[in-house]
A and B are shown apart, each in its own frame.
Chain A
């Protein structure tokens, strides 16, 4: 087991190095560089002065020296200055992280709250009308693009029915820390979370349904039935114990996927998170922020995938044998 964890962690290192290298090259291809954010706003800077600053910041060094320095700083959390916001990128991102993490976390919770009961029902009563309904729902959810669904949710629940606010992550008039603030926060979360969750259930439902159908015919279930275990307990104690564990392990993939996929939902609901910051920054050509965000979400995916792989191997020893 320890060997597997060690090997999987070591596998992550070349991935991270390659990722940072690709993003560094991408950043080099973008117009502007690390000093643009800090000094280009000053119209008095002469070309000679800029050249001096470039020399001082080592922008005339060979690329591998620059890459080493950039990576060293990034590891310590220094991503340079944002040109449009005139503040360190780290501060800017830190202000948004909470919103995106909240959104992803609640979306993941909602996905499980919807998917697990539906998956169990569909798997237990296969070919019943409930199963057919769930399979149809799953099929439609699979085919629906996130942005179309989020827009329809916005239109129906925020505008036509007017149940929820349509923009922002909290009402700005309410003071932070009060009960009303929390309520407003929650109200602003409902639509983005539900838009992500309702069509995000596909994989989980499908996996659970197939796995339960698979387990039903296994010998150990026959044994359980033969010794007189009541039907409800066959499911709750025998089948589900086997089927639910891998689902828990998928959490890692799920959350990293959500952080990356939040671009659409955050843009549509004007939710102040990392995805919206990414779109805003790229529209303003604020490339220091863009680079930092791509690096962060790439790293999150690498780490999340690793965690899920490790949890999955803990839960299911067959995976380790490979």
Chain B
């Protein structure tokens, strides 16, 4: 008697899983269906694994060594993408730059995502006066000229390094996310499960982060994938202007920054052009995958 019940339960769960595939499964199905997204994902994986595994076959110490006999060499068999002003191999720097840019892009996205998520959840969960004050503050943050503020902070901060840079960027890049999460949280708080939980006396923080958040997770994942691309763009852009990653940590923007000199733009294209194109390709790929993820999160838009 008991056995049949468990069997039925198991069967039920299995059937339910089949009918309601997890979000990750839906994303995967959507990507498989969209050949461009699949291609982008594969290209991205190839690019990133080459960049992250490059220390295995590229001598990193050689990349920091200045060799004046070998400066500004055009691409050749020894230096696939030529050399820069210090005779350093551009291809090796490109790989390290891609790695740093991507890692830092992820770090900023995660930190800014957490700030935005907490802010939006708190604002939306409490609603009313709290929401009103928090939204006024958010509106104010949104009118600040972000690029200028980041540049000013980068310049005046006392001990400037990669971590402070990530923090400065995160402080200004959570705003859109907070607004998005808040609008969804406002709808969610009216639902019965939240009310039931409140009646049972669950602490507010627990409701917010363990009951409300899982229901918003697909929204967060979609938003994070799409902002990852733009965060990489902002980071490389700031590094290009000279206000991004400190000199010890080369980014793709560091290589592109060579192009601030007209002579290099024109005559030594191999130094900056590959990095610029790599940024472009990475952004396009991440965005394409992001669009597929976005479609997967909304049943009406799905292609698969």
Contact = CB atoms under 8 A, between A and B. Distances in A.
* B partners with A: yes
Interface of A: 15, 18-19, 22, 26, 29-31, 139-140, 142-148, 151-152, 154-155, 159, 166-167, 260-261, 263-264, 267-268, 278-279, 282-283, 285, 290, 293-294, 297-298, 301-302, 305
A22 B146 CA distance: 13
B276 A264 contact: no
Interface string B109-153: 000000000000000000000000000000110011111110110
B270 interface: no
A148 B143 contact: no
A151 B272 contact: yes
B147 A267 contact: no
Interface residues of B, number: 40
B143 A301 contact: yes
A26 B145 contact: no
B147 A15 contact: no
B72 interface: no
B145 A301 contact: yes
Nearest to B234: A145
Contacts of B146: 260
Contact of A263 (B148, B236, B291): B148
Contacts of A261: 147
B273 to A, nearest CB: 7
B148 A145 contact: no
A84 to B, nearest CB: 15
Contacts of A19: 140, 143-144
21 contacts: A15-B139, A19-B140, A139-B287, A143-B284, A143-B287, A145-B279, A147-B241, A151-B272, A155-B266, A159-B265, A260-B148, A263-B148, A263-B241, A264-B241, A267-B241, A268-B260, A282-B151, A282-B243, A293-B148, A297-B148, A298-B145
Contacts of A167: 262
Given A15-B139, A147-B236, 18 more contacts: A30-B156, A142-B287, A143-B283, A145-B283, A147-B237, A148-B233, A148-B280, A151-B272, A154-B265, A263-B147, A263-B151, A267-B260, A278-B148, A278-B151, A282-B155, A293-B148, A297-B145, A301-B143
Interface of B: 139-140, 143-149, 151-152, 155-156, 229, 233-234, 236-237, 240-243, 256, 259-260, 262, 265-266, 269, 272-273, 276, 279-280, 283-284, 286-288, 291
Nearest to B157: A29
A148 B234 CA distance: 11
B152 A151 contact: no
A155 B280 CA distance: 15
Contact of A145 (B151, B152, B237, B260): B237
Nearest to A18: B140
A282 B149 CA distance: 12
A251 B211 CA distance: 42
